[in-house]
Structure 1
Amino acid sequence: MTAQENLVVRAVKTQQGDGIDVYAFFLHGSDLTRIADISRIHRNEKDLKGFQRKEIRSHVKAIVDFLDSGPVLFPNAITLALSPEITFDVSRGPKPKGLAEVGVSGTLTIPLRIEGERAAWIVDGQQRSLALARAKNSQIPVPVIGFVSRDLQVHREQFILVNKVKALDVRLINELLPEVGSILPKDLAANRLPSELCNLLNRQAKSPFYRLIRRASDTGDEESIVSDTALIAAIKQNLRPPYGALSQYKQSAESSDPDAMYEALVLYWSAVRDTFPDAWGKTPSESRLMHSAGIKAMGALMDQVMLRADSSATPEAEVREALRRLAPYCCWTEGTWEGLGWAWNEIQGTPQHISKLSDHLIQLDRKLSRPAR
């Protein structure tokens, strides 16, 4: 391999975790996109690919404008995942007295490849890297931290942990969570199972939500009309013990039965779909059942209906009968909600509206399910 096919920089090497090599070095801003690919999030028929959100043009332009404004201080480090193909040669020579031996210095050699086959991937700093590549001054020295790993799961873990404290789209984090196998902070781990159930509901043909759920990896599928954030929030509520409809299938964070949870969700929401066929599958502007308020309110109702059905000899029949009794009182696509005084399209996705609608449906179900005297 010739010198033109490699980029050689001075670097300091250390190790973290279970013997993972980590490097600190500087690059010219324009070299970042020469050595590193951007792994954008998308989904094929089987798997979730990548992890990076789309380019935010306004954000990139704002950074470019800043970089082009004159001599600027830009010390923000870019985080890269490096292929094991990189090589490191330790510098020889005497060590200064009293040296804090945290890392060793040397030269890092990174192969230069065409896009899609590069030896590094941007984990944090996508927008900054794109801006640096477009700035007038291509020689701005940029600090880089690189860790050696080909494992996409490790890249995703670091991406989530780095961006958890930033204003990153929660939908992107939620979709990535099921693909990550490491121990996560408690607040993130709580979303992993609901997000995976959301994935299953969206991908399985037997699900009433098949291809209806909007996920961060979507590329504009017009069929996707249900907010994944709303459905995940509803499932999280269903998982709460002791009265969550799915809590009986979750003994602990390590012990759960996601297959049983999925079947329970399919049973309930299929009954919802069949009870309200004129409201199902429409856009939220046409049907408040598909709106975040409707999804969360009907999700709250699921706890009461399913727990009652579980004690029945025919759970599915009990669920469908409960929804049949409720149907005449629901105004998902027209009319005014009796007892709430809201026109069907006045329902909004605010906490107040969702809470009132949920309570209204729960009270109606409780009243209608009492035996006639």
Structure 2
Amino acid sequence: MSSKLTFSAIQARQSPRHTVLSFAARASDLKQFATIDRVARDTSGHLSGFQRPQIASHIREIKDYLDQADSILPNPIVVAFTRGTKVGQGVGPNCTLEIDVTSGPPGLVVDGQQRLSALMQLEEKDFEVLVSAIVCEDEAELRRQFVLVNNTRPLPKSLIYELLPGVEGLPMRLSNRAFASALTARLNYTLNSSLFTQIYQHTNPAGRIKDTAIQRVIMNSLNDGIMREFLRQSSEERGTKQCFDLISEFYRAVGMVFPEAWDPRQTPRTSRLVHGAGIIAMGYVMEVLALLEGARTATQFARGLGCLVDRTAWTSGSWDFGNGDHRNWRAIQNVNRDIVTLAQHLINIVRADMRTRRSESAEHALEREVSVRVAAAS
């Protein structure tokens, strides 16, 4: 049996590709035509939905306010439709909007999910609110509108970044971030990755390493590092795999060289190695070993990281950055100044070790050459 809702609306002519409408609807109507599609991933890591988890305390505050006799809610709830709507033309901007709810709510909330959740909990009154409706061509366009609408609002950046890989037609700065976000998700949800389930994302709140820290490592390398070369010299698919393998192998080596500081029980509070500052600073070390020594495997990276053993303060002690700059291990914070200081300190140790090993290698080569000549002469 067909079930339809009809509203008097006002249409704003903004884009030839989209229909934008405003109308008033009661909470009971909203429940029939709008739903909240929360962001999640399935067992294979496939992303679905886009809304952040609900904030219970915020919803409770809104509900308590709406229960008052003189409460108002002037901000509209933004709902997007990709199906189930029919716009009837009227005079000027006036029109009608028919929503087919026969197969369930066809609309997805783009903005106002906490308000809608609070409205659904009202028991004694059917509150009427303003609704802004966007009729989109498909779900990809809906997701794009969600990102662009919320990018200038105080929505968690990590959620925006996690959604970016599924969005097209973005500004360049967001397109670059989209690659970093997609690679971060791949590292987090691929079984053979050394970072499997270790990265905190909205779809993996149990992770201990911030997704934005891993993305920063990738972005730094994309801007002027080894990953930039990978993507320039290979196809997109092969270059992306090389980037994935590089980071996975490097942090596998980090776990091998610093097993205590990398232990799964460690958190950013107990170990600066899994803290944003440590992750990003070590990313610069990865660049040095990859570019100057050609390290690609965990074994090769571990060989280059060996010189840092007993010269770090990831979980206790203090750092000696030289020139009287001594800092307790907890004093390292996730700010650019501390990240640069830590990265430069680690890189200096690694570079000095590289020079020593090269010098020793040259000496051994010379000794072997002399031995061969002596043997030949005798």
Q: TM-score range by the shorter chain?
A: 0.7 to 0.9
Tell me by how many angstroms 1:149 deviates: 3.9
Residue 171 of structure 2: aligned partner: 185
TM-score w.r.t. the length of structure 2 is: 0.82
Residue 271 of structure 1: aligned partner: 253
Q: Is the 8 A contact 1:64 1:135 kept in 2?
A: yes
Paired residues, number: 350
Query: 1:19-98 counterparts in 2 under 5 A?
Result: 19-46=17-44, 47-72=46-71, 74-91=73-90
Residue 156 of structure 2: aligned partner: 169
- For 1:290, which of 257, 271, 274 is the aligned residue? 274
| Matched residue type, 1:370 | R
Q: Would you tell me which structure has more helix in proportion to its own residues?
A: 2
Paired residue secondary structure (1:161): helix
- For 1:122, which of 93, 109, 113 is the aligned residue? 109
**Is 2:132 aligned against 1:145?**
yes
CA distance in 1, matches of 2:32, 2:257: 56
Residue 228 of structure 1: aligned partner: 211
CA distance in 1, matches of 2:147, 2:311: 43
CA distance in 2, matches of 1:316, 1:56: 41
CA distance in 1, matches of 2:137, 2:101: 16
Paired residue secondary structure (1:328): coil
Tell me by how many angstroms 1:202 deviates: 0.9
CA RMSD of aligned residues (A): 2.9
CA distance in 1, matches of 2:311, 2:249: 22
CA distance in 1, matches of 2:82, 2:343: 51
Q: Is the 8 A contact 1:171 1:228 kept in 2?
A: yes
**Is 2:197 aligned against 1:211?**
yes
Residue 223 of structure 2: aligned partner: 240
Q: Quickly say closer, same or farther: Cα 1:282–1:308, change in 2 above 3 A.
A: farther
| Matched residue type, 1:231 | I
CA distance in 1, matches of 2:222, 2:140: 26
1:286-309 CA distance string (max 9 Å, x none): 322111121111012222221112
Paired residue secondary structure (2:149): helix
Tell me by how many angstroms 1:68 deviates: 4.0
| Matched residue type, 2:36 | I
- For 1:362, which of 347, 350, 357 is the aligned residue? 347
Q: Quickly say closer, same or farther: Cα 1:216–1:153, change in 2 above 3 A.
A: same
> Structure 1: where are the runs of 5+ without partners?
96-100
| Matched residue type, 1:42 | A
**Is 2:292 aligned against 1:301?**
no
**Is 2:144 aligned against 1:157?**
yes
Tell me by how many angstroms 1:198 deviates: 0.6
Residue 99 of structure 2: aligned partner: 110
Paired residue secondary structure (1:11): strand
Max radius of gyration: which structure?
Answer: 2
Tell me by how many angstroms 1:178 deviates: 1.2
1:296-330 CA distance string (max 9 Å, x none): 110122222211123x7x87655332111222312
Tell me by how many angstroms 1:42 deviates: 1.0
TM-score w.r.t. the length of structure 1 is: 0.83
CA distance in 2, matches of 1:19, 1:255: 31
Report which stretch shifted further, 42-51 or 132-141.
Answer: 132-141
Identity score, percent: 31
1:21-80 CA distance string (max 9 Å, x none): 443322124422232110011111121111101112232233334434444553322221
Paired residue secondary structure (2:255): helix
Q: Quickly say closer, same or farther: Cα 1:51–1:60, change in 2 above 3 A.
A: same
Paired residue secondary structure (1:74): coil
| Matched residue type, 2:140 | Q
Q: Is the 8 A contact 1:335 1:343 kept in 2?
A: yes
Tell me by how many angstroms 1:368 deviates: 1.8
> Structure 2: where are the runs of 5+ without partners?
361-378
| Matched residue type, 1:213 | I
CA distance in 2, matches of 1:316, 1:135: 57
Residue 199 of structure 1: aligned partner: 185
CA distance in 2, matches of 1:14, 1:28: 22
Paired residue secondary structure (1:355): helix
- For 1:322, which of 304, 308, 324 is the aligned residue? 304
